[in-house]
Amino acid sequence: MEERIKTLAETFSMKYHSRNKQISKRDKRSSVSLIRYADDFVIIHEDVNAVQKCREVISEFLLDMGLELKPSKTRLVHTLQDFDGEKPGFDFLGFNIRQYKAGKHSSGRNGHKEILGYKTIIKPSQDSTKKHYYKLKKVIEKSKGISQSVLINILNPIIRGYCNYFRTVSSSQNFCKLEALVFWKLWRWAICRHPNKGRKWIKEKYWKSIANRNWVFSIQGKDKPLKLFGHSEMKIVNYVKVKGNSSPYDGNLIYWSIRLGQNPEMPTRVAKLLKKQQGKCSHCGLVFKDGDVMEIDHIVPKTKGGKDTYDNFQLLHRHCHDKKTSSDRW
């Protein structure tokens, strides 16, 4: 089905550009884009007429199979501004994708300001955030009779799962908001358990100070404290776009080793060091290029007690390695 939809979309795109041949790389950016996961898909194009035509073609294709697009889940929207009564942006797989005005402004003759660019920001959708919060809320409200340690063990996998899924997008504000909401639910849970105790007593019993964080919902375990994982503790990992038309199969070992930290054609140790050093030589600070001879060096020489560990490894150009080795002798 995916190949069929792609073919239909590409066929229309070629007709739209008045061509009867394969689209060149230069024109691919202006052609119809299809993003699909299971039975959910999004069609993107700069011209609303192109998107409407694709919807008609897909509707006809599905009708032949006895299927149809669900009206409640099918929307035609603009990513930057209101369109046809719909708010800007769209939700897909739990994410909200929307464009915002960005860049410098220039004033015209009449003082009119022009927007020089736009920025696409992806966030957790409101629907996915509400579902996650209601799930946590339901667990807490039904757990008034269980111990704190059991409650923490139930909540932690739910929170970690949500945070891991959305850690690659702009989720910092979302995580902080959810953490605050969960705190107040837990506070009411604790008050319900001890209606005759004061707030200070409740705070000291269920919340502790751990490292540089205060008000951590935790309990002392056998070896170490058992604590609730906070949403804001999850480190956001920003996704970096692939450069140009790069592909894992284009033979650019250095680029993909830096990006992924692994490559089947690159020694594991070298690939990990490339990622750790962000593709730069530790001695001269220059970026490694294709064809450069790279060598692994011990930061503290083995003759001086250095060990064979990643903390003591660094990747250098061959000539930088020679300079470093000669300086180590003295």
287 CB contacts (<8 Å, ≥6 apart)?
A: 279, 280, 281
Q: How many residues belong to the chain?
A: 330
Distances (CA, A) of 133 to 13, 104, 154, 162, 216: 42, 38, 14, 10, 19
pLDDT at 182: 96
CB atoms within 10 A of CB 29: 9
Average pLDDT over residues 14-26: 50
Alpha helices for the chain (secondary structure H) = 2-16, 25-28, 48-64, 126-141, 148-166, 172-193, 199-206, 253-260, 268-276, 318-329
The three-state secondary structure class of 93 is coil
Q: What is the DSSP letter of 233?
A: G
pLDDT digits (tens, 9 = 90+) for 84-119: 777 888 999 999 999 888 776 655 556 566 656 788
* pTM of the predicted structure, to 2 decimals: 0.69
Q: Residue 255 and residue 290: Cα distance in Å, rounded? A: 9
pLDDT at 64 over 80: yes
Tokens representing 233 are 């503790």
pLDDT at 73: 82
Q: What is the rounded (10 degree) CA torsion for 179, 165, 136, 172?
A: 10
Q: Residue 93 and residue 38: Cα distance in Å, rounded? A: 10
Q: Residue 196 and residue 185: Cα distance in Å, rounded? A: 18
Tokens representing 298 are 């011990």
